[in-house]
Amino acid sequence: MANNNTDERRTAPRRRRKSGVPTLLVIVLIIIAMLMGGLAGYAVARKTNPYLHELQAQKDRVMELENTLTLIGYPVDEDVDPEQWLYDRNPEEDALAALTGETWEEADDDDVWGTESLLDGTLPEDGESVVVAEFDGGELLSNEVIPAYNDQLTNAIFAGHDADEVAEDTLKSVLEQLAGDKVIAAQARELGLTELTADDLSQIDAKAAENYESQLSDYIAFVGETDRDAAAKALEEGGVTLESITEQLKQSWWTQKYYDYTVKDVTVTDEDVQARYDALLAEQKADFAATPENFEYAHQTGRAIVYRPEGYRAVRDVLIAFESDEDAARAADLLSDLEMIDEDPDALAQTQKDLDALYAPLEKKAAEAQQKLADGAAFADLMDEYGTSEALKNEPLRSEGFYISDASFVNSAEFVQGAMMLEQPGQVSSPLRSANGVHLVEYIGDVAPGDEAVAADALKEKQAAYYDQQRKTLLEQAHVKYYPERLH
């Protein structure tokens, strides 16, 4: 059985290694990548390119994290034995000393992140502040630019780029972005859009909670941490808390309000919609043919889908979940072991015995649910009573289900095989195991090949293009001048 499961989609595997980088350093690197890819990019993405899909952002973040591990010495070859990987909580050697010449206890932040260590190329943040850009009615100071530049360059390094090759473009981008933000902010203040209303604060609280839960889930999935409190503490040590996210959103919330104000009168024509449809059709045909699971992710993340391949069906589940994180982690380990010991009959039998014992209480509950179905209970009612996969907790996925095919590997192999064996819509599977627990899967119906309207997506694209042009015009009118040489 595969170690993929319904609620841990597209996450990096838990890696093991006998000795390596200290856990805290790995945590810091992961948090930085997540924070920069998520929070720092949030404000920029929302106002300059709001139609970018969450799927692509998550794919980019996974790539960044994998590149980070490669950068600090973790092998990524598919042939490497995963049992040799370990987030080393008791290192046999001090890997930090290899980076900085000092032990972890002796080092401080400057040793790890300074110009003599891993992140060579960043600019010192001390010293006298100077004007690095000026425009009608304002200026941009070096102490505003350097932290943002260092963040962007660090992100690029973690993504595998050479600092010397990307430093100039990164600095130019940061200068233009920050100067543009100041020009835009001045106009937003004039329009009264920077003041936060009660409705704004309510939306910020909801978005902050959503972002925090997402980052916490990503951390738990990536590191393999099963204790939520411990994971939350690790994020807090890296500066990520619900309060910090809330504060960042308060600082940047005006950008979305200004964006909405700017594009409020933009409309689309039939020609605009057709052009967007044609572009998406070509893009998705190529994408889904090369990477079939992207069709499943596109549906789950709410992307506009204009091309639906053949062979997919929609399913949803009742999930009898493990009651403890420890049992879930144990199940994941055993399912993984089951794949690697198929040539050892004795070990295979023992692992299967351990799995049967672990799943026995869940399968007893699943039998109860099956009896309720036989007695006439609605499947949706059992989803409420017992729970369901994380992706299906809210509409429209709760009713529509998610898409799978014989080639799917987003969910566990047993889940996919059991769901694809169902012959008629409305049928429910026998109990199927995953690392999350036991699933009863309902076959909703086939996914008809074809296309759908893309007017909303075309409008988002046209709004983004219009906003970018308006922003460019404002910067030209503000007569912005840049002095990047003053930063060196």
Q: What is the pLDDT of residues 395-422, one digit of tens each?
A: 888 888 889 888 887 777 888 889 999 9
DSSP string, 166-197: HHHHHHHHHHHHHHHHHHHHHHHHHTT-SSPP
Short-list 122, 140, 124, CA closest to 484: 140
Contact 353, 421 (CB under 8 A): no
Instruction: Output Rg (C-alpha) for the chain, integer angstroms.
Output: 25
Average pLDDT over residues 54-80: 48
Average pLDDT over residues 222-248: 83
* Residues of the chain above pLDDT 90, percent: 33
CATH number for the segment(s) 310-446: 3.10.50.40
Flag whether pLDDT at 78 surpasses 60: no
Q: Is 443 helix (H, G, I), strand (E, B) or coil?
A: strand
2's CB contacts (< 8 A; 6+ apart) are 335, 339, 409, 412, 413
Tokens of 190: 């004039």
Between 282 and 81, the higher pLDDT residue? 282
Flag whether pLDDT at 453 surpasses 70: no
Flag whether pLDDT at 231 surpasses 80: yes
Q: Is 19 helix (H, G, I), strand (E, B) or coil?
A: coil
Q: Is 478 helix (H, G, I), strand (E, B) or coil?
A: coil
- Identify any residues that bridge with 225 across adjacent strands, giving them in sequence order: none
Contact 396, 316 (CB under 8 A): no
Tokens of 70: 């490669």
- pLDDT score at 19: 32
Encode pLDDT of 85-125 as tens digits. 443 434 444 444 444 444 434 544 444 344 444 456 788 87
CA distance 250 to 406: 45
- pLDDT score at 245: 94
Between 111 and 143, the higher pLDDT residue? 143
Contact 112, 100 (CB under 8 A): yes
Contact 171, 149 (CB under 8 A): yes
Average pLDDT over residues 185-209: 93
- pLDDT score at 229: 85
Which alpha helices (DSSP H) does 22-127 contain, by range? 23-35, 41-48, 54-71, 95-100, 109-113
Most confident of 97-106, 145-154, 196-205, 269-278: 196-205
Q: Is 438 helix (H, G, I), strand (E, B) or coil?
A: strand
Phi (first) and psi of residue 138, to 5 degrees: -175, 180
Tokens of 488: 């060196």
Average the pLDDT over each of 8-12, 214-218, 228-232, 246-250 and give the range with the smallest value: 8-12
- pLDDT score at 367: 94
- pLDDT score at 400: 86
Short-list 412, 386, 196, CA closest to 404: 412
CA distance 275 to 260: 23
CA distance 245 to 293: 31
- pLDDT score at 36: 45
Going 78 to 79 to 81 to 86, the CA torsion angle's sign is: negative
CA distance 166 to 218: 28
- pLDDT score at 473: 92
Flag whether pLDDT at 440 surpasses 90: yes
Tokens 């720092």: give the residue: 40
Find the helix or strand (DSSP H, E) in which 432 lies: strand 432-434
Average pLDDT over residues 151-164: 85
Average pLDDT over residues 282-293: 90
Neighbours of 193 (CB within 10 A): 22
> Boundaries of CATH 3.10.50.40 in the chain?
310-446
pLDDT grade for 79, boundaries at 50, 70 and 90: low
- pLDDT score at 303: 82
CA distance 482 to 417: 60
Average pLDDT over residues 141-158: 89
Average pLDDT in the chain: 76
